[in-house]
Every structure is written in C-alpha cells, then in structure tokens.
Chains A and B, each alone.
Chain A
C-alpha cells in the first residue's frame, strides 16, 4: 500500500505543478504582457481558469495531507528547517487566492482593481518561486539537523544558488504552461498568433532557466548532472521530453491546442520524473549525508493502509467530477453551445 500512497503523492505534486502551475502562469504572463494587450490577455485567462481555479489548488492540500499523515518525520523536518520559504510561499498563496476572487467578484469596478491586480500578478510570481526553492532545498543537502545557530539552521538550509535557480525555473515552467494552455482558449486568429509567439518565447526562456539550474548545481556541487543523466530511466525521460519539445515546435503554428497541451504536460511530467527518480525513495537529503526516505520514514502500517484507502476512495469521487468540470468549461468558446 505504501506505493499507492507514494504514487498519489507524486501525482498530486505533478498535478499541482501542471494545473496550479498554469494558474500561476496566468498571473506571470499578465505581468509580462505589454500594456495594450493586458486587458485581452486577462479576460481570456480569466475565462479559461475561473471555473477550475479553486480545484487546481486542492492538489497542494492533498500533497501536504499525504505528507503529514504518511510521512510525519519528513513533513516536520521540512516545516522546521524550511520555515522561512514556506511562510513566503504561504503569503503568496493567501495574496493570490484572495486577490483573484476579489478582483473578479467586487461588485464595483474602480480604483480597488489597481490594488487587487498587482497583488495578484506579483504573488503569482512569488508563490511558484518559493515552491521551487522549497523543492530544491529538500534535495540540495543543505538542511543541517546539527546546526545550532540561526543562520545555518534556518537560512542557509534554503538560501543558495541552486535553490534560487530552481525557483526561477519553476516560474518559467508556469509561464510556459499558461501560454500553451491559453492557445486553446483563444477565439480568434490574431489572439492565437499572439499567444503562439508568446509560447515560443517562453520555451526559450524555460530552456535558458534549465541551463541556469545546471550551472547553479555545478557551483553548489550538487550532483544534478549524474542524477539526471546517470540513470537509464532518467535519461530516457529527458530524451523523450526533448523529442516532444521538437514536435511541439513543429506543430506550434498549426491549430492543435489539445496536442500542444498534452505535449507540455508530458514534458513537465518527464522533468519531474527525471528529477525525482534517481534519489527515490529519498525525498529530503540532509547535510550529514543521511537522507529521509519515503520507505523508511513512513508511518505505521495501519496508517499507511487507511491513508491509501482514503485516497483511492476519494479519487473515485474526485477524478470523474474534475474531468467533467474541465471538459465542460475548457471547450473553445466558438464551439461551445451557449454563452
């Protein structure tokens, strides 16, 4: 049953990156859109993500609950030593989740929008940045359980070039996902062209940020290169992702939004797979060389079993409803039956 729980954990994290990431990306794209196009971009984004907005963020809660129920030692270690980036991420989550709703549900449209909008777009940037920092810090081997001064225990555990580079990379992935997603939501040719151009640009940005991650790993002496290219499955994943990126480039101009989305989802899944496979089942790598493993730091058998059953039963309810929701509301406007 432990593997059922681990698969759910991994899937919840992946879906949070994909669906939540596309949400974050919507804000990031808005931030980096020229003034003239801002309103149009915002409206298209809103129509696309409004209905599934709340659901996208539930994956984070699922992942957190799995961690604290099934792997309490891992949850608490991360909570203690990565307290500061976690608080920053939480502030981003609060600001973003509320600003989005406030700006769309305020009965009066006036200067208050000038407050909600910057909060929304900047928190869209901050949240995935710190999410990336947290993920990277877990594996960068800087968490020091023996540290006894504030800086080395609670600051240097996450403040390093590698973590920052992964933070930036996560932001770029969110932007990438959002542009690919939005291509399928546009209802006219000129918008489609506009977002296709944007998508091409973000692909280059993602690649550049990915290169930065490797550079930072090299500077910080983190064996990222051997993690990703040292294992056959990791290597296959990276090759598959690269091939699908080439395919993506070729079909970007053609009107194939579903295919583009699948390819983008596939690429991000492969990146996450390659990044997690080589040190699995270790999830937190500590400074003293020991690691926190999903297999040795799991809860007692009965806890894991009932968690697995709860997740399985939950997914019977959640997944069909979620697919139906996405199906109904992400149909293109020009083909949808009613407005």
Chain B
C-alpha cells in the first residue's frame, strides 16, 4: 500500500470512528437531561433510572469520543503536515473555540456524573444540559473547520502564498452553516434511531417494559422530529454544493454532461468511461429544480471539470444514494410514528412498529458515514478545494501503512469493547436501574 493511500485510509478510519462516538456523545446528553427533567418534575423513579442508565452510556461515549478526537488533533499533523502548515493559522479559529467548548463539556460532565446527591438537584440537572449544549457547539465548530476545506475563505492565495489571513472570515465561510445544520440534525437522527431501536428490541423481548418504553419514547421523538427536518437541510446543502462545488454535485449525481432540465438520477451504476449511468431511474428536470430552483436551470456536469480535478464518481454516487435512501426510509418511519402518537395510539405498543424501529437501528449511522464519505470523497483531489491537492499535503515519512494497520486494529478493538460494554449495560438494566417493579419505599 502506498503512503498516500494509507494516510487517506487512516484519516478516513479515524474520522469514521470518531464521528459515531462524537455524535452519540453530543446527542445522548439531551435525552438524558429530558429524562432527568421528568424525574425532577414527576418524581417517577423510572425516569431517574433511565437517566442514570443513559448517563453511563454518555460517560463511555464521551471518553471514547474524547480520546479519538485527541488523536485526530495530532493526526492532522502526523499525516497532513503540509496542509496544516498553511491551513492551521487560517481555519484554526473554530478549533480554538472548540477547545473551550470541549473543556466546558468535560467539566460539566464531571459535575454531572459525580454530582448525584452532592450538589443542588437543579444545578445538577443544569450541568447535564451544559454537557449537551457545549457538545453541540464543539460539533458545530469542528464542522465549520471542515466546511472551510470545502469553501476556503478568509485569505488571499497569491503565487502560492497564503496572505491577508482573517480567521473570523475563514470560520464563517460560505459552507459552515449548511454543513453544520446538516451534520447536527444527522447526529440527532442517527442517535435517536439507534437508541430507540435498542429500547424497542428490549420491549419486544418483554424485558423491563416500563423502563424501556419511557426510554424508547424520548429517543424516538427526538429521532423522528430530526428525520423530518433533515430533507429540508439536505435541500439547503444541495443548493449550496451546486453553487460552490459543482464537481462534487456532479459526482454525487453521476451527472456527466452539463445540461438544462437535468434529470435526478436515482440508483444505477455509473459508467465513467462511457459517461453514462446504467439501470437508473431518471426524473426529468428534478435535479435542475433542486440545484437551482428552476426546472430549466443549468446544472454543471463532470465534463465542465478538467479530468485531473474530477472526484471519484462511483464512491461518491453510491454513498450519496445510500444516504438519501436511508434518510427517506427514516422519514417514512417517522411519519408512521407521528400517526401513532396522535391518531392511532394502539400502534405505539404494536409489535410491527417496534420491529420497524429495531430494523432502523443502524440506518442513521450508516447514512451518517455515507454522508461523510460524500463530503470528503466528493472534494477530492483537493484537500483545500481548488487550492491544495490532497496528494501534496501528505507527510514525507514512509511506512504509513504500518501506522494505518496499527490504528485500524486499535479502533476495531475499541469498537468491540464498547459494543460489549453497551450490551452489558443493557443486559443489566433489570438489576442495576429498573426499580419500577419494586414497591416504592416511602
């Protein structure tokens, strides 16, 4: 394996791993705080149990997310020193603010996890909310930094020099809002569906039903609301990408030729050599409408980009299709759930709806990884869009393949251990947390 490929794979694995943990660590505190709020308001012990059980999950995911994030802050330099040498001072602003947000999150988490019965109950609750908000902020800031790679701003690039740096302008680049919105909603969708799915499975198995039903409802409501909002943010993103990175949009859609009244291509197998997509469903004019707001609008195809600047079409196209397909499936399930909440209450306890949620457990995270692939692979061959090529940014150190194997091994074993820990947390719910079947002491 050559060093460049190894470096790219290592980065992809590190981010792909971190992103799952970071999203859960960012969203779970909101679920936990809501359950905690119900406990403080209603004094229903089931809510306290759910809160405590979830807080263990938050601790595990926060720790894993934090170490993998620390590793990433070093990997930027270890793998892409030439990129960081120029980009660090320009897009560093969100990272310095993120340091603060992350720090506050860690402090608040300390208060939260160890504060039961030691600090004022509402102050304690508030620290849980702070964990959520600061986590969300750090997520947004990191995405703003990534958005800068797609939409470089805040400097003048003259004769290979990066001049007149303005870190604030770089942070508020054109892509930051649509990317941060899309990512944040995605975090809620994926975590909501994953958590709801696990609790749905437990309800189906008839284990600690009171406990799991309450937990399921909180997660499902968050997840399904987010799922319904996601297409809107997706539309904003698509229009943005069309304007800023036509090559990426063309690759996402496997759209080879520039044309007006461009069709939306669903599925299919892109044939890069023949510049066509086989076996696809084509909806005339829809791509033009989505990208420009006009059915007759012009959408740039891959032919408008020099060959050496074209992103890999197949990977980007498939990843995009997976993301949209799963997203739509989750919107469908979300709509069913809303009907269950308002019109058909008997659906809420029916096993078919719960089974659908169980099936949806991994969907959000698969969509999330696919979406991330679209953003990153779709930007290739650039590390800073239009300015620096990824190949020019890689470290001169040879033997990166070994480092790739090493870190891949570490991440795989961590994933296994975390899954085991989660399994054991869930299996122990009856013993450790569920006091709903006990007779209340007072």
Residues of A within 8 A of B (CB): 50-55, 57-58, 60-62, 64-66, 68-70, 72-73, 75-76, 78-80, 83, 86-87, 90-91, 93-94, 97-98, 100-102, 105-108, 112, 150, 153-154, 299-300, 302-303, 306-307, 310-311, 313-314, 317-318, 321-322, 325, 328-329, 336, 338-339
Q: Mark B266-308, 1 if CB is under 8 A from A, else 0.
A: 0000000000000000000000000000000000000000000
Number of interface residues of B (CB under 8 A): 68
The CA-CA distance from A98 to B215 in the complex, in Å, is 26
- Taking a contact as CB atoms closer than 8 A, the residue among A51, A58, A86, A299 that contacts B89 in the complex is A299
A58 to B102, Cβ gap below 8 A?
yes
The CA-CA distance from A10 to B69 in the complex, in Å, is 22
B117 to A338, Cβ gap below 8 A?
yes
- Taking a contact as CB atoms closer than 8 A, the residue among A54, A106, A150 that contacts B63 in the complex is A54
Given A79-B78, A98-B64, A325-B110; A302-B103 close (CB under 8 Å): no
CB closest chain-A residue, reference B162: A300
The CA-CA distance from A90 to B75 in the complex, in Å, is 9
B93 to A306, Cβ gap below 8 A?
yes
The CA-CA distance from A150 to B400 in the complex, in Å, is 12
A318 to B107, Cβ gap below 8 A?
yes
- Taking a contact as CB atoms closer than 8 A, the residue among B68, B96, B397, B410 that contacts A314 in the complex is B96
A107 to B102, Cβ gap below 8 A?
no
- Taking a contact as CB atoms closer than 8 A, the residue among B103, B104, B166, B428 that contacts A108 in the complex is B428
Given A83-B397, A107-B424, A310-B100; A76-B63 close (CB under 8 Å): no
B427 to A101, Cβ gap below 8 A?
no
Given A58-B102, A100-B63; A72-B85 close (CB under 8 Å): yes
CB closest chain-A residue, reference B429: A107
- Taking a contact as CB atoms closer than 8 A, the residue among A58, A94, A105 that contacts B56 in the complex is A105
The CA-CA distance from A314 to B90 in the complex, in Å, is 19
A72 to B89, Cβ gap below 8 A?
yes
Least CB distance from B169 to A in Å reads 10
B421 to A62, Cβ gap below 8 A?
no
List which B391-421 residues lie within 8 A (CB) of chain A.
395-399, 403, 406, 410, 414, 417, 420-421
- Taking a contact as CB atoms closer than 8 A, the residue among B56, B84, B425 that contacts A76 in the complex is B84
Q: Does B111 contact A (CB under 8 A)?
A: yes
Chain A residues near B108: list those with CB within 8 A.
321
B78 to A86, Cβ gap below 8 A?
yes
List which B93-139 residues lie within 8 A (CB) of chain A.
93, 95-100, 102-104, 106-111, 113-114, 117-119
Q: Does B168 contact A (CB under 8 A)?
A: yes
Least CB distance from A294 to B in Å reads 14
The CA-CA distance from A339 to B424 in the complex, in Å, is 27
Least CB distance from B345 to A in Å reads 34
* Main secondary structure on A side of the interface with B: helix
Chain B residues near A313: list those with CB within 8 A.
100
CB closest chain-A residue, reference B59: A105
The CA-CA distance from A339 to B99 in the complex, in Å, is 32
Least CB distance from A61 to B in Å reads 6
For the complex of A and B, 7 pairs with smallest distance between CB atoms: A69-B92, A79-B77, A314-B100, A299-B89, A101-B63, A54-B106, A76-B81
Given A80-B81, A306-B93, A306-B167; A94-B106 close (CB under 8 Å): no
A102 to B421, Cβ gap below 8 A?
yes
Chain A residues near B403: list those with CB within 8 A.
83, 87
**15 additional contacts, CB 8 Å, given A69-B96, A300-B165?**
A50-B113, A61-B99, A64-B73, A65-B99, A72-B84, A72-B88, A75-B84, A93-B70, A93-B71, A94-B68, A107-B427, A306-B96, A314-B99, A328-B119, A339-B117
Chain B residues near A69: list those with CB within 8 A.
88-89, 92-93, 95-96
Most B CB within 10 A of own CB, among A50, A70, A90, A317: A90
B103 to A318, Cβ gap below 8 A?
yes
A79 to B92, Cβ gap below 8 A?
no
Q: Does B67 contact A (CB under 8 A)?
A: yes
Least CB distance from B424 to A in Å reads 5
Chain B residues near A100: list those with CB within 8 A.
63
A55 to B103, Cβ gap below 8 A?
yes
- Taking a contact as CB atoms closer than 8 A, the residue among B70, B110, B167, B424 that contacts A55 in the complex is B110
The CA-CA distance from A311 to B432 in the complex, in Å, is 42
Chain B residues near A60: list those with CB within 8 A.
70
A302 to B167, Cβ gap below 8 A?
yes
Chain A residues near B9: list those with CB within 8 A.
none
CB closest chain-B residue, reference A309: B96
B71 to A94, Cβ gap below 8 A?
yes
Most B CB within 10 A of own CB, among A66, A69, A112, A318: A69
Q: Does B76 contact A (CB under 8 A)?
A: yes
B67 to A325, Cβ gap below 8 A?
no
Q: Does B355 contact A (CB under 8 A)?
A: no
The CA-CA distance from A322 to B106 in the complex, in Å, is 10
Q: Does B207 contact A (CB under 8 A)?
A: no
The CA-CA distance from A153 to B96 in the complex, in Å, is 31
A317 to B104, Cβ gap below 8 A?
yes
Chain A residues near B324: list those with CB within 8 A.
none
Q: Does B82 contact A (CB under 8 A)?
A: yes
B77 to A75, Cβ gap below 8 A?
yes
CB closest chain-A residue, reference B64: A98
The CA-CA distance from A52 to B113 in the complex, in Å, is 11
- Taking a contact as CB atoms closer than 8 A, the residue among A57, A78, A108, A328 that contacts B70 in the complex is A57
A106 to B421, Cβ gap below 8 A?
yes
B428 to A107, Cβ gap below 8 A?
yes
Chain B residues near A83: list those with CB within 8 A.
78, 395, 397, 403
Chain A residues near B62: list those with CB within 8 A.
54
Least CB distance from A250 to B in Å reads 34
CB closest chain-B residue, reference A337: B118
Q: Does B366 contact A (CB under 8 A)?
A: no
A58 to B106, Cβ gap below 8 A?
yes
- Taking a contact as CB atoms closer than 8 A, the residue among A66, A72, A79, A97 that contacts B66 in the complex is A97
